[in-house]
Each structure stands twice: as structure tokens, then as C-alpha cells.
């Protein structure tokens, strides 16, 4: 049995466990669709943020805060494998180098397309930018909805969770941190 077949057989078993008949017409292709869908949603394990960031580093004398905000993402919680739907806001202060803007959402997706908890997702994005861009500071804020808290469990619909990670000047300098917070606060879910 090859890996895909093994994967799809596990999905068939899950269908049986939830009370379905995997041999009924509407479900015949479901194991293969679920496999491909999960492979996409978890494709971040095969990606390296260093490779993404190092492809697009440009020399710049600008040393003012760069903010990319309202970056939408989808992830899945590692406890229930249910969607986490949110927005990330990222800021950094260049230190001789800036990064291609599109690479920031790409790095977010590398970590979002893994099984996650929001706090770690926030840390991992922040640490990757800090390590490979070596800025004077970096800040990440994430505002997200957890379907495991809405569709099941405590069932608190539209509750949101806000997390942040701060490095360098964003941590040590209150003015820098406040500037970041004032720029992103208008984007937080009301
Ligand atoms: N800190 C954190 N917790 C999360 C995240 N996503 C889901 N959780 C929580 O993980 C916890 C898992 O708790 P358990 O008691 O083991 O699981 P459970 O019985 O399904 O919990 P309930 O959701 O309360 O029904 C729950 O409180 C979830 O709300 C996340 O990104 N960060
Ligand atoms: Zn969960």
C-alpha cells in the first residue's frame, strides 16, 4: 500500500466512525479530496522561512518602522484540527536591510499551514523575521477566531483572541511599542 492509499484508508475509517458509509456515491472521492485538502492546509511543514526571506533582502538606509497589517490567514488548532481564522499585523525597524513585502505574508503562511496554537504561531513568525532579517526590532500581533471555541466546546460565537510577540526596540522602547499599538489597534476586531 502506498502512502496516499494509507492516508485515504484512514479517512475512510473516520467516515465510518462518524456514522457514514464511505462506499456511498457522494463519498467515493472524499478520502482523496480530504487527503489533498489536508496536504495543502499542512504544507507549511515542507517550507523553510529562511529560504523565503533570503530571496528578497534589499539594502536600504531607511530605519523607520515598516508595518504590514491586515494580513488574513487560515490555520488549524493543534488540539481539535479546527480552523483558526485571523489577521496578522507585522512591524519591523530595518537595520540596513528591508525585505520584499510579499515575503511577510508568505512567512505567515509557512507557520499558519501547520497545526498550531495562536501564541506559538505569533512567536514563530516573530522569531523567523528577527533571525533572518536582523532588524532593530520586530513586532507581531494576531487577532483570530477559533472555530473550536465557536462550532463546539464552549460555543462562544465571534469571540476573538489577540496575541503579540515583541523583539528588540519594540520590547525595550515604550514609544516604539506604543506607536505600533496605535497603528494596529484600529485594525483589531471590534
Ligand atoms: N492557549 C491556546 N489554547 C487554545 C488554542 N486553540 C485552542 N485552545 C484551547 O485548548 C484547550 C484544550 O483543552 P482540553 O480541555 O484539553 O480540550 P477540550 O475538552 O476539547 O476543551 P473545550 O474546548 O473547553 O471543550 C481548550 O481550552 C481550547 O480552547 C490556542 O491557540 N491557544
Ligand atoms: Zn482547538
Burial of 29 (0-12, 13-18, 19+ CB in 10 A): exposed
84/144 same-domain check: yes
Residue 90, domain member (yes or no): yes
What CATH number should be reported for the domain holding residue 16?
1.10.286.10
What is the tally of helices (H) and strands (E) in the chain? 8, 7
61/34 same-domain check: no
What pTM was computed for the model?
A: 0.95
Please state the residue numbers annotated as binding site for Zn(2+): 77, 80, 148
Active site residue 150: no
Residue 106, domain member (yes or no): yes
CB 60 within 8 A of CB 98: yes
66/27 same-domain check: no
Three-state SS at 139:
strand
Quick one: which of 163, 162, 145 has its CA closest to 154? 145
148 touches ligand 1 (CB under 6 Å) = yes
Atom number of ligand 1 nearest to Cα 80 = 20
- Read off the pLDDT band of 1 (50, 70, 90): confident
- Read off the pLDDT band of 177 (50, 70, 90): very high
For the segment 112-160, what is each residue's pLDDT rounded down to a tens digit?
999 999 999 999 999 999 999 999 999 999 999 999 999 999 999 999 9
Q: Is the pLDDT of residue 183 over 90?
A: yes
Nearest ligand to the CA atom of 75? 1
Nearest ligand to the CA atom of 117? 1
Can you give the residue range of the structural domain that contains 65? 48-185
Residue 190, domain member (yes or no): no
117/85 same-domain check: yes
Please state, in angstroms and as integers, the Cα–Cα distance from residue 50 to each residue in 53, 60, 106, 134, following that order: 5, 20, 11, 12
68 touches ligand 1 (CB under 6 Å) = no
53/144 same-domain check: yes
35/71 same-domain check: no
22/99 same-domain check: no
Retrieve residue 144's grid coordinates: 483570530
23/59 same-domain check: no
Query: What is the Cα–Cα distance from 59 to 68, expressed in whole angstroms?
Result: 19
Retrieve residue 153's grid coordinates: 466546546
Which residue has its alpha carbon closest to ligand 1 atom 11? 79
Q: Of 80, 120, 134, 150, which is the active-site residue?
A: 80
What CATH number should be reported for the domain holding residue 142?
3.30.1130.10
Which residue has its alpha carbon closest to ligand 1 atom 21? 153
State the complex-level ipTM: 0.91
Amino acid at each position: 500500500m502506498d502512502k496516499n492509499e494509507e492516508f485515504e484508508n484512514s479517512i475512510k475509517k473516520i467516515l465510518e466512525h462518524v456514522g457514514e458509509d464511505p462506499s456511498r456515491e457522494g463519498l467515493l472521492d472524499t478520502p482523496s479530496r480530504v487527503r489533498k485538502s489536508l496536504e495543502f492546509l499542512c504544507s507549511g511543514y515542507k517550507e523553510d522561512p529562511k529560504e523565503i526571506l533570503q530571496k528578497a533582502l534589499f539594502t536600504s538606509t531607511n530605519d523607520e518602522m515598516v508595518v504590514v497589517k491586515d494580513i488574513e490567514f487560515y490555520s488549524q488548532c493543534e488540539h481539535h484540527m479546527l480552523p483558526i481564522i485571523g489577521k496578522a499585523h507585522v512591524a519591523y525597524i530595518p537595520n540596513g536591510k528591508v525585505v520584499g513585502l510579499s515575503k511577510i505574508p508568505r512567512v505567515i503562511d509557512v507557520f499558519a499551514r501547520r497545526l498550531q496554537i495562536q501564541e506559538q504561531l505569533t512567536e514563530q513568525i516573530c522569531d523567523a523575521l528577527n533571525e533572518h532579517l536582523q532588524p532593530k526590532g520586530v513586532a507581531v500581533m494576531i487577532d483570530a477566531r477559533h472555530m473550536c471555541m465557536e462550532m463546539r466546546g464552549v460555543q462562544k460565537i465571534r469571540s476573538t483572541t489577540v496575541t503579540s510577540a515583541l523583539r528588540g526596540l519594540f520590547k525595550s522602547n515604550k514609544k516604539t511599542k506604543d506607536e505600533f499599538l496605535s497603528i494596529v489597534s484600529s485594525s483589531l476586531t471590534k
